């Protein structure tokens, strides 16, 4: 009986194990069917997961690269702007350096004085410096003219005259007198083709400007005063290139070399329309107004104007400013006389609403640089003064210019003593 019970219990235990195994296999099959990729697998296959991660990295890298490029571009632009500003500052410093090195003699001394305070010194020894330093020459403004000037000028100085066909006869007397004296540093600025050809045929240094509609129209047809207004515009290039110019109208007879009589201590050195020491060099003129009683007498300073047809101008900043001011005023209405404007800009002081020109001036000796009033009204009637030989005679006071120019040339150059006698002191009208 005992043996049979033991066998029955072993048989029951084996049946339960078999049932458990069967249930486990069945559950495993169901799970395998429902979750073929396993319980912990992601939704996509492995390859897809790798690609997805790679794309994310690429997208992120692309965004970072674009931002980086934009930042670099911004940095480059900023550095370019800073570089341009530094270059500009370097150019300015180089100009100042060249200007400092360029100053010689009085000009250099003045330049140093402006930057350093100095003691006044003992009474009677103080003297102000008047000479402005010349500009830095810039031949790029007109390379063709620069080449001509290099051949014609002497010590960077020359006589310059503007001429068109209206003054051809006077121009001939003008350059004939210059040649007789032996002056070589002179130049005619031809305002039309006929004058250019005329100068070339007579061996006269000539320069014909590049076409300019506004200037050419005036230059070809304008009279003396109109052409005179052009010179302030045209002369600017000469000064920019570092040349000193003795500007000359063509109604002038040359009897000596004017460069031997210049002081060169001012921006502008000009002949005067004055006819004696007072009118030429200035005087105290008393204005009388009786209604003012005790204060009826008011003292004023008078000086006769500079002649804008003959002046020596140095290549300085005040000189160029003078040309710019005069040219600008003559170019706009109302119509003005160039000589009046020339003197106003030189002499009018600064006052409310106006900044005066800070230019140094010198009046030429009126017996050396003689106007026709002095010659015909005074000199020809004085036996002693008749023996004095001026540097030039400017026929500016008389309208019959050509015959008087020829008479002046005959009297001084050829020794014809009665050449000046037929003419009246003034004009017939």
- 361 pLDDT above the threshold of 50: yes
Q: What pLDDT, on a 0 to 100 scale, did the predictor assign at position 365?
A: 98
Contacts 24+ apart (CB under 8 A), 136-145: 136/95, 136/98, 136/99, 136/102, 136/242, 137/240, 137/241, 137/242, 137/315, 138/240, 138/241, 138/242, 139/241, 141/237, 141/240, 141/241, 142/237, 142/241, 144/210, 145/207, 145/237, 145/238, 145/241
The average confidence (pLDDT) of the chain is: 85
pTM equals 0.72
Percent of the chain scored above 70 by pLDDT? Answer: 76
Look at residue 49 in the predicted model and tell me its pLDDT.
45
pLDDT (tens digit per residue) in 333-360: 999 999 999 999 999 999 999 999 999 9
Q: Looking at residues 229-244, what average pLDDT do you find?
A: 94
Predicted confidence (pLDDT) per residue in 86-121, tens digit = 888 887 787 666 655 554 444 455 555 455 677 888
Question: Please, how many CA atoms are within 13 Å of residue 179, restricted to the half-sphere of its CB?
Answer: 11
pLDDT (tens digit per residue) in 244-268? 999 999 999 999 999 999 999 999 9
């Amino acid at each position: 009986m005992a043996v049979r019970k033991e066998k029955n219990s072993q048989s029951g235990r084996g049946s339960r194990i078999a049932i458990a195994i069967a249930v486990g296999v069945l559950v495993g099959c169901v799970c395998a069917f429902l979750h073929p990729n396993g319980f912990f697998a992601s939704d996509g296959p492995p390859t897809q997961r790798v690609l997805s991660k790679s794309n994310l990295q690429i997208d992120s890298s692309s965004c970072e690269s674009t931002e980086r490029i934009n930042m670099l571009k911004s940095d480059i632009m900023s550095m370019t702007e800073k570089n341009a500003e530094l270059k500009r500052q370097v150019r300015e410093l180089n100009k100042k350096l060249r200007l400092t090195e360029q100053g010689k003699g009085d000009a250099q001394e003045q330049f140093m004085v402006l930057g350093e305070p100095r003691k006044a010194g003992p009474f009677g020894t103080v003297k102000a410096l008047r000479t402005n330093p010349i500009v830095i020459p810039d031949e790029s403004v007109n390379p063709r003219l620069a080449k001509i000037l290099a051949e014609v000028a002497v010590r960077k100085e020359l006589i310059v005259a503007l001429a068109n066909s209206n003054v051809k006869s006077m121009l001939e007397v003008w350059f004939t007198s210059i040649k007789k004296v032996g002056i070589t540093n002179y130049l005619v600025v031809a305002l039309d083709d006929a004058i250019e050809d005329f100068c070339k045929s007579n061996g006269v240094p000539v320069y014909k400007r590049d076409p300019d509609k506004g200037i050419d129209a005036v230059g070809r047809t304008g009279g003396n005063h109109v052409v005179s207004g052009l010179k302030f515009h045209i002369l600017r290039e000469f000064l920019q290139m570092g040349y000193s110019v003795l500007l000359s109208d063509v109604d002038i007879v040359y009897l000596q070399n004017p460069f031997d009589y210049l002081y060169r201590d001012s921006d502008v050195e000009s002949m005067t329309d004055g006819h004696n020491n007072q009118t030429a060099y200035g005087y105290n003129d008393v204005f009388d107004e009786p209604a003012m009683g005790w204060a009826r007498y008011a003292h004023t300073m008078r000086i006769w104007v500079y002649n804008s047809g003959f002046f020596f101008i140095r290549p300085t900043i005040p000189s160029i400013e003078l040309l710019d001011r005069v040219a600008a005023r003559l170019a706009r209405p109302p119509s003005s006389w160039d000589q009046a404007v020339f003197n106003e800009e030189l002499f009018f002081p600064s006052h409310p609403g106006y900044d005066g020109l800070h230019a140094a001036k010198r009046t030429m000796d009126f017996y050396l640089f003689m106007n026709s009033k002095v010659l015909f009204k005074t000199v020809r009637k004085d036996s002693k003064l008749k023996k004095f030989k001026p540097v030039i005679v400017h026929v500016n006071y008389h309208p019959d210019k050509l015959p008087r120019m020829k008479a002046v040339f005959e009297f001084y150059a050829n020794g014809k003593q009665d050449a000046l006698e037929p003419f009246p002191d003034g004009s017939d009208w």
